[in-house]
Amino acid sequence: MTDISHPAPPATKLALVTGASRGLGAAMAEALAAQGWHVMAVARTTGALEELDDRIQAAGGQATLAPMDVNDPAAMAHLASAITGRWGSLQLWVHTAIHAAPLSPAAHMDAKDMAKSIATNLTATATLIGVLEPLLRVGHGTALMLDDPRGGEKFFGAYGATKAAQMALVRSWQAETVKIGPRVVIAEPAPMATATRARFYPGEDRAPLAETRAEAERLIALL
């Protein structure tokens, strides 16, 4: 484990993965490290990040762990400052952090879940775009943003609405940066056997679902 507060050797390619502790985020971090990227992995769960780092190191890769909450604007500003101080730029940002509120009729959504959905899926994304765009521009970098079009589906009120709002923001950013950078890529992952999907579809037959590592490699190939 490399602590964020200590110097690290400069890397030719730096990838930031937000929401890296599990699921597709962890798979993206492992796949990028295997391809020679130095991965900065951001998530709230320190133990899961350390397990990710063990897998990356066992495969010969390198990672820096940043146990932070994307909902904390001061922490995200510190993250950007740390990247600036150690690397000076950012070549790739993969944003997988999400709050998947439980399915609920629109008239009975839990207020706390709705607030957390807005904070994580929309407000945190806006904060990260603001602090990371300069680093990506200097690094001639790319942002990979992941769509999941559930807006308007029954019982997906909190998740679907905030995810749709997130992607509306991202598409505005994408249109604004076509000429000046950074490059913004929007991709829709295949259905995967993740904890997030299991929350939406308990009891589903998971055999036909995509494996997260294979899907991570497919998405990286789009870049």
129, 159, 162, 219: which one is catalytic?
A: 159
DSSP secondary structure letters along 103-135: PB-GGG--HHHHHHHIIIIIIHHHHHHHHHHHH
What is the H or E stretch that residue 64 is in?
strand 62-67
> Rounded to whole angstroms, what are the CA distances from 181 to 16, 37, 75?
17, 21, 25
The rounded distance, in Å, linking the Cα atoms of 178 and 149 is 23
Please list, in sequence order, all residues whose beta carbon lies within 8 angstroms of the beta carbon of residue 103, skipping any fewer than 6 positions away.
155, 156, 159, 200
Contact 98, 170 (CB under 8 A): no
- Cβ atoms within 10 Å, residue 153: 11
User: Quick one: tokens of 167?
Assistant: 């992607």
User: How is residue 58 written in tokens?
Assistant: 């066992």
Residue 201 annotated in active site: no
CA distance 21 to 88: 25
Q: State the Cα–Cα distance between residues 153 and 148, nearest whole angstrom.
A: 12
**Catalytic positions, please?**
159
